[in-house]
Structure 1
Amino acid sequence: MKRNRAFLFWAAVAGLILVLILSLILAVTAGTVPISAREVYGQILYQISGIRLKGLDSLGTGSIFDIVWTIRLPRVLMGCVVGMSLALSGVIMQATVQNPLADPYILGLSSGASLGATFSIMIGASAVFSGFLARTSIAFWGFLGSFLVSLAVFFLSSVGGRVTTSRMILSGVVMSSICSAFSNIIIYLNSDKSDIQSVTFWTFGSLSTATWEKLALPAAVLAVCLLYFITQLRRINIMLLGDEAATTLGVNLSRTRKIYMLITSLLTAVVVCHCGIIGFVGLMIPHIARAITGSDYRRLLPVATLVGGIFMIWADVVARFLVKGKEIPIGIITSAVGAPVFLFIMLRNAYGFGGKDE
């Protein structure tokens, strides 16, 4: 029985990886200039390995190459990285606070990162630095905002007694409202239209500014965080047994929760600072994956991460083509899709959270 389950799990993972690769290629074909999947694959293969497919000319040069390699592929890959990052953050947060409603947005981390990015843009913080530091200064301020919010959530939830998951959720909602209020004040007091337009980008979320240069940091942070949490799967499963059981088994819950929140703060901040606030992904995707795999994080984490990447790729395609001649902010698409899907899963109640079914 265990062998059959393991086989089915790895078959599902292999299938999701295949779907992810196909989604990457097909998403690159979508655009005002039609490009075949074979041509997209040929351009990517040539750039990576130098191998030429028969029948394809002008590989590595020309307008088709520029569209595929310079414009569309970085955007599609950024969508994949963002989806994986938000799904991973949601999975870890739900385990950390042991609440199925936890995600970067509800716990206030997204709003904190957005406030940091807004502050950086409005005061021109990037002008203080140069080169690489100038390009990453917004990410730094975003991380600082997200990290400070996570500390505030822990502090508020621990006032008057032991930290509880309900207090953490309520504290996150409070901090999210406070950060949104301060962001609006900063925007209101600023009269520079270009700055206001830049902040509007963070509010709605978009992948339109993705480039190879901007992709490097989110991809690197995702890889490091994913590798770290893969090493923590046993500890995460123990946490789901409850505070008393986890403490008995030697898990320092206070320290572990702080470390996990710090890491997810970094992951969330980097995503928000590059693509703006994209809601519902961190909340919805873990539940979809949990309905497929169950509550064992050894299976849940990789499946949720892959599903998050696939979902975000196609959400961006819909954002580009739903309205002819206009691009809808991707945050609107994810919320419009995520709310009814999450409602359906909640009403169906066909999954378990933690150590037992709910």
Structure 2
Amino acid sequence: MNLKTVHRLELGRIYYPTIFLFICAIVFSAVYSISIGQVHIPFSQSMEVVLHALTNGHLGSVGESEAYSNIILQVRLPRVIFALFIGMGLSLCGVVMQATVQNPLADPYILGISSGASLGATFAILVGFGSGTMLAQFGVAFGAFVGAMITTAAVLILSSIGGKATSVKLVLSGVVVGALCGSFSSLIIYFANDAEGIKTVTFWSMGSLASSSWDKVPIMAVVVLAGCLILLFQHRVLNTMLLGDESAITLGISLSTYRKFYMIITALITGTLVAYAGMIGFVGLIIPHICRAIFGSDHKRLTIASVLLGGLFLIWADILSRTLVHNVELPIGIITSVIGSPVFIYMIVKKGYNFGG
């Protein structure tokens, strides 16, 4: 039995228990998250209310205070679900983008998607797109989503000029288009005579789950779960991408076609998440690296582990954003950056594994 086979057996022993541990931690963290805040609710009471809601009244109870039930079900529970799906989506996109562009520094924003979304949101806020009666609620979200999708289309077209879209051309096209979108965003802010709008843009760019509500959960859930369903079964192609284009050609796989397909899917997911929660960095960057260090580079294991750990990570980032400063909610993007930066620096210094190895 060679070392490679032994390594695979060792990973198999820890993989499923770890995945089970992640799931249990997500359940515990979700209940704990809805228990804390300006109004403290006992953990057992929160569990009772959630069970009562999930089983349609067959298990659990609403407790003595109906106010607790309203706080949990109408305010905190949709926020926890928001955090879970956003963490799952950003981590999934990070895994796919790092394989697609063969770059360990890739995350959902490397191809200019975030810059396009930022431009769309800035335009919606400062030009007044979101002030109409029909689009008042979804104007900023719609603007961010449209900006992300237009940027994606521009990157795809630019990277395809003169031949097939390679990983290098995708990265370079994303950098150029992202810089252009950033310049236009700055230009709009510079000429805008709207102090409140500029404040809104600044807060949105830091990321926040404050806009979470039940009416937005279905769209986010459908987009993220559909993306997971599609990309979780692409592990063979993602593994092949780590070998490079020449190896893929010998296997009869057209990586250029798959790159475009994956980019459209990740842009759809990232555009939706950014539209609802603003810019939340480092999740799609550090979570795949942590899981790759634990489970290796096989995307059959890596993708599922990253999705679960990403959801767990963002739930706790949201908990910290609400509890670190008394009676003040910090933008969640600040929390993820403060946590993510030292973790990523530690991983660079340690050099405990090689990307794709």
TM-score exceeds 0.5: yes
The offset of 1:104, in angstroms, is: 1.9
The one-character-per-residue Cα deviations of 1:242-280 (angstroms, maximum 9, x if unpaired) are 111112212221111011101111111111110100111
Partner of 1:176 in structure 2? 178
Partner of 1:226 in structure 2? 228
Unaligned runs of 5+ in 1: none
User: 2:30–2:315: 8 Å Cα contact kept in structure 1?
Assistant: yes
Q: For residues 258 and 135 of structure 1, do their structure 2 counterparts lie closer, same or farther at Cα, with a shift above 3 Å needed?
A: farther
Partners of 2:198 and 2:91 lie apart in 1 by: 29
Partners of 1:31 and 1:325 lie apart in 2 by: 9
**Pairwise mapping of residues 1-358 of structure 1 onto structure 2 (< 5 A)?**
5-49=11-55, 50-53=57-60, 57-58=63-64, 62-126=66-130, 130=134, 135-157=137-159, 163-354=165-356, 357=357
Partners of 1:174 and 1:336 lie apart in 2 by: 27
Partners of 1:283 and 1:350 lie apart in 2 by: 17
Partners of 2:133 and 2:71 lie apart in 1 by: 32
User: 2:38–2:327: 8 Å Cα contact kept in structure 1?
Assistant: no
Partners of 2:170 and 2:344 lie apart in 1 by: 21
Q: Secondary structure at the match of 2:34?
A: helix
User: 1:113–1:268: 8 Å Cα contact kept in structure 2?
Assistant: no
Q: Secondary structure at the match of 2:52?
A: helix
Partners of 2:241 and 2:187 lie apart in 1 by: 40
User: 1:202–1:272: 8 Å Cα contact kept in structure 2?
Assistant: no
User: 2:11–2:295: 8 Å Cα contact kept in structure 1?
Assistant: no
The offset of 1:126, in angstroms, is: 4.4
CA RMSD of aligned residues (A): 2.3
Q: For residues 26 and 6 of structure 1, do their structure 2 counterparts lie closer, same or farther at Cα, with a shift above 3 Å needed?
A: same
Q: Give the TM-score taking structure 2 as reference length.
A: 0.90
The one-character-per-residue Cα deviations of 1:210-263 (angstroms, maximum 9, x if unpaired) are 111122211110000000001211221122221111122122211110111011
Partners of 1:261 and 1:6 lie apart in 2 by: 30
The one-character-per-residue Cα deviations of 1:43-93 (angstroms, maximum 9, x if unpaired) are 011011113437x634xx721011111111111111111111111111110
Q: Secondary structure at the match of 1:174?
A: helix
Unaligned runs of 5+ in 2: 1-5
Comparing 67-76 with 179-188, which one deviates more in the overlay? 179-188
Comparing 16-25 with 164-173, which one deviates more in the overlay? 164-173
Partners of 1:212 and 1:260 lie apart in 2 by: 29
Aligned length: 350
- What is the identity, as a one-letter code, of the residue corresponding to 2:69? F
- What is the identity, as a one-letter code, of the residue corresponding to 1:349? K
- What is the identity, as a one-letter code, of the residue corresponding to 1:32? Q
Partners of 2:272 and 2:148 lie apart in 1 by: 10
Identity across aligned pairs (percent)?
44
Q: Give the TM-score taking structure 1 as reference length.
A: 0.90
Q: For residues 321 and 128 of structure 1, do their structure 2 counterparts lie closer, same or farther at Cα, with a shift above 3 Å needed?
A: closer
User: 1:295–1:352: 8 Å Cα contact kept in structure 2?
Assistant: no
Partner of 2:3 in structure 1? none
- What is the identity, as a one-letter code, of the residue corresponding to 2:15? F
